Amino acid sequence: MALTLAITNQKGGVGKTTTAVNLAAGLAMRGLRVLLVDLDPQANATMGCGLDKQHLPKTVYHLLLETATLTDVRQTADAGFDILPANRDLAGAEVEMVTLLAREQRLKGALADVDDDYDVILLDCPPALNLLTLNGLVAADAVLIPMQCEYYALEGLSDLVNTIRMVKKHLNNRIDILGLLRTMVDNRSTLSQQVAEQLQKHFGNKVFDTVIPRNVRLAEAPSHGIPGLLYDKTSRGAQAYAAFTDELIERCKLPVVDDSAVPA
């Protein structure tokens, strides 16, 4: 049984995709079998994993409209995990699915077939509370919310929490908030520090201890099609995502192979 996590925040540019790609790489490095699903027509996760969004045989769009199977869509990223890629076609899926029955269940149905093939399935959601995000929330066991530590960080969070509550009540009673991840924290900025502390006060132990700093290497990595975690392993950004991966493994009690038990 895979643990399926929706990486969601309806704000754009808060680090959803960066978190999705680096967490996928981090979990794969720990020996876990990972599937990353790109649910955003902007396809940043697809490109950040080194795939060319212009030349994909089949994408998540086809999967949601049931014109391709998961095996047709699935690709393997060099970083050691599988990916269901997307491109701009996915924007059309929203409209085309409107008349379909159980349109919010499409992704869940498709992923059920591969549930045993993976330890973790990560869903990189678009920056909107739309039908694509809803498909993510219906398919997920839990939600991971990246939060940029800026003045308006908390704004909009109640909409997201209400949406998750509605989904839990009507569509997916498994779902819970796994946690909030503070991203792009600038250690030199008092504001960033204050917001980071405020979040912890507000959400207590739902906030991950690991803080992701603002780090240029993480921003450079996507243009090379490599997760930041592998692009420059010594960078503060890479180290933070490695630490976050371990914290998440611990929090979710994921079945990693214990290094210390393996003879050298």
85 binds, among Mg ion, ligand ADP, none (CB under 5 to 8 A by kind): none
Q: Minimum Å distance from CB 127 to ligand ADP?
A: 5
Residues 127-146 that bind ligand ADP (CB under 6 A): 127
Residue 50 vs 109, nearer CB to Mg ion:
50
Rounded Cα distance between 146 and 180, Å, is 6
Nearer to Mg ion, 30 or 46 (CB): 46
Minimum Å gap between C-beta 161 and Mg ion is 20
**Which residue, judged by CB position, is nearest to Mg ion in the bound state?**
17
Burial class (CB in 10 A: 0-12, 13-18, 19+), 186: middle
Contact residues for 188 (Cβ-Cβ < 8 A; gap 6+)? none
**Under the criterion CB under 5 A, does residue 17 sit at the interface with Mg ion?**
yes
Please identify, among the stretches 9-17, 58-66, 162-170, 191-199, the one whose residues bind ligand ADP according to the rule CB under 6 A: 9-17
Token output for 244: 């976050």
Is 184 an interacting residue with respect to ligand ADP (CB under 6 A)?
yes
183 binds, among ligand ADP, Mg ion, none (CB under 5 to 8 A by kind): ligand ADP
Question: Which does residue 23 touch among ligand ADP, Mg ion, none (CB within 5 to 8 A, set by kind)?
Answer: none
Q: How many chain residues bind ligand ADP (CB under 6 A)?
A: 18
- Would you count residue 191 as binding ligand ADP (CB under 6 A)? no
Residue 53 interacts with, from Mg ion, ligand ADP, none (CB under 5-8 Å by kind): none
Residue 31-70 contact track with Mg ion, rule CB under 5 A, x = bound: -------------x--------------------------
Give the nearer residue to ligand ADP in terms of CB position, either 69 or 187: 187
Residue 68 CB-half CA count within 13 A: 15
* Interaction site with Mg ion (CB under 5 A): 16-17, 44
* Interaction site with ligand ADP (CB under 6 A): 12-18, 44, 127, 183-184, 212, 214-215, 218-219, 222, 237
